[in-house]
């Protein structure tokens, strides 16, 4: 059965729709972590601060 180029994308809607909120929460959690760590948006983050941002991001994704 030939489906053409659209056959390649058949069944991809569900995974794309499922992954999009996970990445949105990941970026949201990281930005919340950055906002909690920095006084000004241009302040550099230390490794410990980056780890804290990553931890908040991971927690947000785990809750989903």
Domain boundaries, given as residue ranges, for the chain: 12-36+44-63
Q: What is the mean pLDDT of the chain?
A: 88
Specify whether the CB–CB gap between 60 and 23 falls below 8 A: no
- pLDDT, residue 8, reads 73
Please check the confidence at residue 45 and state whether its pLDDT lies above 90: yes
Residue 7 vs residue 19, higher pLDDT: 19
Please check the confidence at residue 13 and state whether its pLDDT lies above 90: no
Please check the confidence at residue 31 and state whether its pLDDT lies above 70: yes
Residue 61 vs residue 11, higher pLDDT: 61
Cα angle for residues 61, 63, 64 (degrees, 5° grid): 70
- pLDDT, residue 1, reads 61
- Which residue blocks in 1-64 are alpha helix, DSSP H? 13-37, 47-63
């Amino acid at each position: 059965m030939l489906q053409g180029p659209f056959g390649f994308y058949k069944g991809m809607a569900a995974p794309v729709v499922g992954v999009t909120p996970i990445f949105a929460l990941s970026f949201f959690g990281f930005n919340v972590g950055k906002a909690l760590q920095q006084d000004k948006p241009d302040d550099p983050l230390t490794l410990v601060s980056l780890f804290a941002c990553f931890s908040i991001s991971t927690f947000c994704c785990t809750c989903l």
